[in-house]
Amino acid sequence: MSKSIFEHSSPGRKGVGLPPRDTDTPLDKIIPQKYHRQSAARLPEVSKLDVMRHYIELSHKNHFIEKGLYPLGSCTMKYNPKIHEVLARHSCFTNLHPYQPESTMQGSLELLYELQEDLAEISGMAAVTLQPSAGAQGEFTGIKIIEAYHKAKGNTHKTKIIIPDSAHGTNPATCHLVGYDVVELKSDAQGRCDIDHLKELVDENTAGFMLTNPNTLGLFETHIEEIAEIMHSFDALIYMDGANMNALLGIVQPGKIGFDIIHYNVHKTLSTPHGGGGPGAGPVGVVEKLIPFLPVPMVSKDADGYHLDYSHEKTSIGKVHSFYGNFAVLVRAYIYIKMLGSEGLRRVSENAIINANYLMAILKDYYHIQHLEYCMHEFVADGTWQKKANGVTTLDIAKRLLDKGFHAPTVYFPLIIPEAMMIEPTETEGLESLDAFATAMIEIASEAKDDPDMLRTAPHTTPVRRVDDVRAVKQLDPIFKIEE
């Protein structure tokens, strides 16, 4: 392991020159004498270059998209153009105050208005709120809208929401949070909603149906219009988890095939760097009849310009975010959409789909794949062959990938596929990097046969070896200690 910044320290070496300290400042008087430092702080004494190297080295211990392929299924870890960062940090955006008069922030309101319009167009919905700050909060907003819709209609008997067993974990969690009972729908042999089972489950008490599409197996749900018809005949609403819109841009408008509500994951599909819990955005689109329930304010436009519009405040579910959402994230989405245009957005999804299918076609001879038809932007392979023949698990395969310079896929999800590896290469990878990843996976399949112990003890080359993740959660100790 490399040296810490403290071990690089050399007495007297300096990175900055500070003027001698004045010990008679107002602050010295305010802070009681007993709190004044008596001896120098133990800080590393290093040059600027030492510091720079230290941080560059630290950053390289992590994995990031600029370092290598990051096929974390469902998370859409694509490359995000750096120009978006530059523009989102522009002082004309960062110096805005949310309480500024409308007339002084017309440009920013225009940006939000156009983004609302563009996201409505892409999803085929009537209107979009930009407020939610993540996918899960978009779900919460959408399910609150379902609740408000039924309340307004006096549908007090509607207590349950149907969700497929392939759903993302946030879907049932969201419904519970709003207060609905979750009813689980089985997947059929093709990995899609079992329509016969759906017909058994749905009744007058059904408030809604929540569907991830493409689903977590990377498959497009084919019976949407039929599902929507069944749901609507019980006055239940149908919600699409649109976190996987990276497969549908310019190809399918969910609002046009029967969905009533959808959320986007801006930080997945529309280019905001994510991972590590940074800010995101989960705009929610709805059909016409649900507009009165959207959070306020929306941004509207008339002959005088752009306005923060509170006109449906009385029927709205209320605010779900302070002010107008995560503005800087929305700026990135706006730029991404405008730079690509409708043709470009469609190419994003087409290439995402082609890349996933290319990898699946290569890997199917080396790893078991339950659903072998064409996939959308991702597919689910699994480690069951290796487990049975060599006693090697998906976790071992995932850890070995780290040695080969790749991030692991999403593993053990979806839950309905044993030893699952959910692989999403995204559209920003070229042929060479897809081939390099396929080669690594093929090598691992043969290592599983020839040297299973080496896989079980992987990773071997990373700064931290295999951690005991249960202990890491229960006895987390992130503090660096210097040996005295």
Phi, then psi, of 145 in degrees rounded to 5: -65, -40
Does the footprint of ligand PLP cover residue 265 (CB under 6 A)?
yes
Phi, then psi, of 300 in degrees rounded to 5: -120, 170
Out of 74, 141, 349, 426, which residue is the one contacting ligand PLP (CB under 6 A)?
A: 74
Does the footprint of ligand PLP cover residue 280 (CB under 6 A)?
yes
478-to-228, 266, 399, 463, 473 alpha-carbon distances in Å: 49, 31, 22, 15, 11
Which amino acid is residue 62, in one-letter code? N
CB of 282 to ligand PLP, least distance (A): 6
Among the listed ranges 56-64, 239-247, 397-405, 415-423, the one in contact with ligand PLP (CB under 6 A) is 239-247
Task: Count other C-beta atoms under 10 Å from residue 350's C-beta.
Answer: 15
Nearer to ligand PLP, 419 or 424 (CB): 424
Distance, CA of 53 to CA of 55 (rounded, Å)? 6
CB of 238 to ligand PLP, least distance (A): 16
Does the footprint of ligand PLP cover residue 325 (CB under 6 A)?
no
Nearer to ligand PLP, 129 or 265 (CB): 265
Q: Please list, in sequence order, all residues whose beta carbon lies within 8 angstroms of the beta carbon of residue 198, skipping any fewer than 6 positions away.
A: 162, 185, 209, 227, 230
Largest CA distance in the chain: 81
Which x/- pattern over 281-300 shows residues binding ligand PLP (rule: CB under 6 A)? -x------------------
SS3 384: helix
Distance, CA of 244 to CA of 308 (rounded, Å)? 30
CB of 377 to ligand PLP, least distance (A): 11
Does the footprint of ligand PLP cover residue 401 (CB under 6 A)?
no
Nearer to ligand PLP, 221 or 241 (CB): 241
Among the listed ranges 236-244, 336-344, 368-376, 461-469, the one in contact with ligand PLP (CB under 6 A) is 236-244
Out of 78, 125, 135, 252, which residue is the one contacting ligand PLP (CB under 6 A)?
A: 135
Identify which of 386, 376, 373, 372 has the alpha carbon closest to the alpha carbon of residue 442.
Answer: 386
Q: Is 469 left (phi over 0), alpha (psi -120 to 50) or beta?
A: alpha
Among the listed ranges 81-89, 227-235, 240-248, 366-374, the one in contact with ligand PLP (CB under 6 A) is 240-248
Helix (H) or strand (E) holding 431: helix 431-450
Does the footprint of ligand PLP cover residue 170 (CB under 6 A)?
yes
Does the footprint of ligand PLP cover residue 371 (CB under 6 A)?
no
Q: Are 271 and 282 in contact (CB under 8 A)?
A: no
Out of 134, 198, 291, 298, which residue is the one contacting ligand PLP (CB under 6 A)?
A: 134
Does the footprint of ligand PLP cover residue 202 (CB under 6 A)?
no
Sequence-ordered alpha helix ranges (H) in 308-430? 327-363, 384-390, 394-403
Distance, CA of 22 to CA of 28 (rounded, Å)? 9
Out of 136, 286, 411, 422, which residue is the one contacting ligand PLP (CB under 6 A)?
A: 136
Phi, then psi, of 411 in degrees rounded to 5: -115, 155
Does the footprint of ligand PLP cover residue 168 (CB under 6 A)?
yes
Does the footprint of ligand PLP cover residue 118 (CB under 6 A)?
no
Q: Are 238 and 231 in contact (CB under 8 A)?
A: yes
Q: Which residue is nearest to ligand PLP (CB)?
A: 135
Does the footprint of ligand PLP cover residue 241 (CB under 6 A)?
yes
Nearer to ligand PLP, 242 or 250 (CB): 242
CB of 434 to ligand PLP, least distance (A): 21
Q: Are 177 and 171 in contact (CB under 8 A)?
A: no
Nearer to ligand PLP, 168 or 387 (CB): 168
Task: Lay out the sheet containing 379-382: strands in order across.
Answer: 368-369, 379-382, 420-423, 410-411
Q: Are 57 and 394 in contact (CB under 8 A)?
A: no
Nearer to ligand PLP, 243 or 299 (CB): 243
Nearer to ligand PLP, 45 or 165 (CB): 165
Does the footprint of ligand PLP cover residue 356 (CB under 6 A)?
no
Nearer to ligand PLP, 136 or 331 (CB): 136
Nearer to ligand PLP, 413 or 437 (CB): 413
Nearer to ligand PLP, 133 or 355 (CB): 133
Does the footprint of ligand PLP cover residue 243 (CB under 6 A)?
yes
Distance, CA of 253 to CA of 249 (rounded, Å)? 8
Distance, CA of 2 to CA of 442 (rounded, Å)? 31
Does the footprint of ligand PLP cover residue 213 (CB under 6 A)?
no
Q: Are 79 and 352 in contact (CB under 8 A)?
A: no
Which residues here bind ligand PLP, judged by CB under 6 A? Answer: 74, 134-136, 168, 170, 212, 241, 243-244, 265, 280, 282
